[in-house]
Amino acid sequence: MPSRRTVLATGGLATLAAVVLAACGKSSDTQAASGPKKPTARVEFTPSLTDEAAPNPTTKVEVKAIDGVLNPDVKLLNPSGKAIPGTMSDDRTTFTVTEPLGYGTTYTWQGSATGYDRMSTPVEGKFTTLDPKTQLNVVVNIADGQEVGIAAPLILKFDGIVDNKEAVEKALTLTTEPPTEGAWAWLGEDNGSRVHWRSKEYMAPGTKIHMSAKLYGLDHGDGAYGAADVTSDYVVGRSQIVKADAGSHQIVVVRDGATLMTLPCSYGQGDVDRNVTRSGIHVVSEKHEDFYMSNPAAGYFNVHERWAVRISNNGEFIHANPETVGVQGASNVTNGCINLSLENAQQYFNTAIFGDPVEVTGTRIDLSEADGDIFDWTYDWPTWKSMSAIKGEPRTASAPATPKGAPTSVGAPN
């Protein structure tokens, strides 16, 4: 039989086991009562996922980890599941989206964060961006890399009405090298708003211009927002001015201060107002080797003209007209255009570029808003500056780009 010492030892082990079991049972009961341990890391979203207002797609979009770090799996997904580009901060506490979002689009956060307690917290949630009533597009009249004349205005033409003109104008940045004084002005509504930038004086040859319009996401007023940002980079070429004195029956083309050519011509005969070549600074806007013109008031339709350089949207061109060659240099007999011989018209045509000034003098009617299109230089500088929207409601021109009743043209033949 076992000794007394063995029995006592056995009894002692049983007692110890009971104590250990009792201790384990007490720990289990406490953990069950308190529940699973909660992660210490939290995440904060910009824009907040609880905001009722839909965020602008250009607003800052990011997620931050509080009391922890973000994991590499953090991303913002578009509806098709594509990740939007973004960057992680060096300390891995902030992920920032690096490109604008789309209008009226739902985006989803995905990923996780890890707290200093090594427990994971999900990065999840959705938001939907602003969905405008209307998106306004804009067309810039001067292309990147284009060479223009010294009087060229920069024109932004919107495909709808801009009610918040001040906000839009503040989003326009234009710089010149060398520095050149200029200003924006809002001209007449013509199936949409238009704003022009013009220099105070003719620009210096070689001037470089950069324009940036940060319009995407910008409230244009009445529920309309900008559809896209636009830019334009161009340069002023040589100085060329056409001196057009109607009484002289000729035009003098001045290149960089020296006479390049003197050409006999015929101006508008001036018997009725519609035949008067307007006095004032016109601007070359386009040119065509072959052009077809109609002027019902003058009784002609689809007349084929050669070497046509448009100088106003009221129907004024410098172009060839063999029928008036006999009086060119001696008499003014046209319906408002400046007529040249075929050879002289081609010679001038080859030198003309957009933005060249054509200074007409000696007629009884001045170029004005009523002549449409580019009449920017008809305003003195204080008046032009008053047409900016920055200091309040701008003084705007009332005439459309193309005047009612102006001669029509169908362009080059098919």
Residue-range domain boundaries for the chain: 42-128, 134-236, 240-367
Has residue 69 got a pLDDT over 60? yes
Asked if the domains at 134-236 and 240-367 fall in one CATH topology, the answer is no
Has residue 24 got a pLDDT over 60? no
Has residue 25 got a pLDDT over 60? no
**pLDDT tier, 398 (very low <50, low <70, confident <90, very high otherwise):** low
Annotated catalytic residues are 319, 337
Has residue 29 got a pLDDT over 60? no
Has residue 411 got a pLDDT over 90? no
- Fold classification of 134-236 (topology level): Immunoglobulin-like (2.60.40)
SS3 state of residue 72? coil
Chain centroid to CA 115: how far? 45
What pLDDT, on a 0 to 100 scale, did the predictor assign at position 407?
66
The class (CATH top level) of 240-367 is: mainly beta
What pLDDT, on a 0 to 100 scale, did the predictor assign at position 297?
80
DSSP assignment letter at 216:
B
Question: Nearest-CA neighbor of 111 among 135, 130, 84?
Answer: 84
**pLDDT tier, 3 (very low <50, low <70, confident <90, very high otherwise):** very low
Question: Nearest-CA neighbor of 95 among 87, 83, 105?
Answer: 87
Strand ranges (E), 178-285: 182-187, 194-199, 208-213, 219-221, 224-226, 230-236, 240-245, 250-255, 258-264, 280-283
Chain centroid to CA 2: how far? 102
Mean pLDDT for the chain? Answer: 90
**pLDDT tier, 20 (very low <50, low <70, confident <90, very high otherwise):** very low
- For 218-271, the pLDDT digits (tens) are 999 999 999 999 999 999 999 999 999 999 999 999 999 999 999 999 999 999
State the CB neighbour count (10 A cutoff) for residue 81.
8
- For 154-210, the pLDDT digits (tens) are 999 999 999 999 999 999 999 999 999 999 999 988 899 999 999 999 999 999 999
- For 264-319, the pLDDT digits (tens) are 999 999 999 999 999 999 999 999 999 998 888 878 889 899 999 999 999 999 99
Question: With 0-12 CB in 10 A as exposed, 13-18 as middle and 19+ as buried, what is 153?
Answer: buried
CATH of the domain spanning 42-128, picked from 2.40.10.10, 3.40.50.300, 2.60.40.3780, 1.10.3720.10 = 2.60.40.3780
Has residue 337 got a pLDDT over 90? yes
Over range 323-329, report the average pLDDT.
97
Tell me how far apart the alpha carbons of residues 215 and 228 are, in angstroms, rounded to a whole number.
Answer: 6
**pLDDT tier, 396 (very low <50, low <70, confident <90, very high otherwise):** low
Tokens in use for 318? 């410098």
Has residue 79 got a pLDDT over 70? yes
SS3 state of residue 63? strand
**pLDDT tier, 410 (very low <50, low <70, confident <90, very high otherwise):** low
State the CB neighbour count (10 A cutoff) for residue 7.
11
What pLDDT, on a 0 to 100 scale, did the predictor assign at position 32?
47
CA neighbours closer than 13 Å in the CB half-sphere of residue 220: 26
CA neighbours closer than 13 Å in the CB half-sphere of residue 78: 15
Over range 354-366, report the average pLDDT.
98
